[in-house]
Structure 1
């Protein structure tokens, strides 16, 4: 492995989950299935919210953006891993690793921000229902999403630049299936004090700030629901945010468990398996969580499929006539 002036390596090795060749086909098939389900499920959510005028509301606008980010999130890590398995290789170039780090940081941050924005939307809907349409205007919704993209793009750029300053002399094996800032900082042979300080500061400000906003929103939502006199009213109010609360719990519980476990056991291969929960499983389950008990999404999906069936029938009929 050659290095350039002993400051950086030309490529890294992504060790992945197992060195056993017999398991590679099983891992490939499993992850390919999960990736295709993630793409299909989130794409259907986007198509349903775009095609149905009844779903042109702030809640579904944010949901379609979350689905788009989840598609990009999984596409940042899984295709490279599956290509490497197919080729029997574990190599990722230095440039590819930095690029993957940038987009991974961008999309995990966007997931974080969008969940906070959706919590604010539910807070306004339940705690200030009479002012909901006045507060949650389309201009504000677009501004919140745009702000999320700008802040996370700048954060990802900062993270990538901080990694670029590091030197990798000997240890270039990453015990993971993708590149992320923590893993690269742990491998560096140069001074990493500024990197660890920056990572912890960003995690506290952006991650901790959005999580605090979500917790505050749901504390107010819980107080408002408890103040409703009728049981039916409480159930109706809770059902409007149950799906989002489930996604938030799944995302943050898995993310925090990986964060704390990796802090205790650095460079442990088990952290790669644990990371699958928030990088693969959560984006795959989100469409199911939002659609299983959501009558609006079910109706939109049914209408979408019915429209496609009718269009297909018309096309087939015209072909027969020709």
Structure 2
């Protein structure tokens, strides 16, 4: 059924004249007549009866009018629901404990008037998340995605770097260090349960292992963060890696230690993916907020070779695995 014909019928019914409805709709009286005739043919009923003073509703027209108004109201609501700024921004934060979720939450706290929906597509890899952005399932996603894997129609902006920290229990040999080098971790077991093959974070940790000769594994079932924290607290040999902006909690009695990594500092690069034509005002506000609150690049930063540099990145030619100058 032609929506414009429905809209024209309602306009004529309310105005009582074809010319008045034409003036309201900004079309000719002939166009109004053609639309009404087409609508009547479609529903096989006469809706309007012409009179010397204009037109009036037939009995069928009187029955049809309230339904036509409901259809037009539903269409208006549907259009409003997808108009930029009229629905919450859907942002994939990957995991609610890590840096992207915390950054989006801080943005919300400072912009409490905005509407957003932080979702997780944790079972999807970066390429699948980018496709979800392209298809409009989500508006944006934080991922570490090589430039050559970004599909046409999707833009990227590197807005959130997460320096890695070592997390160990009180009995670990490095527990009392104020900071450690990545090479200091050689020979220590680093357990990161839940690494999924084929994901960007699996590729990141593989590159980190190869660059610094580390032993990083995800052996055994993943029973969740609480079990990981328990294992670290009870072990003198086990360690894991977390982002400096990640939010994990554990009992005070665990006495776990977060130890920064430097010389160089491994950084997990969260790149924001979004559709080229996306005009959602909350997306603009989020990007501006992340730019304004983003710390400058670290002088000793390490990222895998496949990670695009930020515009303000310093070259670090000596760090293992650092990108070569462009």
The question of a shared fold, defined as TM-score above 0.5 by the shorter chain, is answered with no
Determine which structure has greater relative contact order: mean sequence separation of CA pairs < 8 Å that are 6+ residues apart, divided by chain length. 1
Report which of the two has the higher share of strand.
2
Report which of the two has the higher share of helix.
1
Which TM-score applies when normalising by structure 2?
0.21
Larger Rg: 2
Which TM-score applies when normalising by structure 1?
0.21
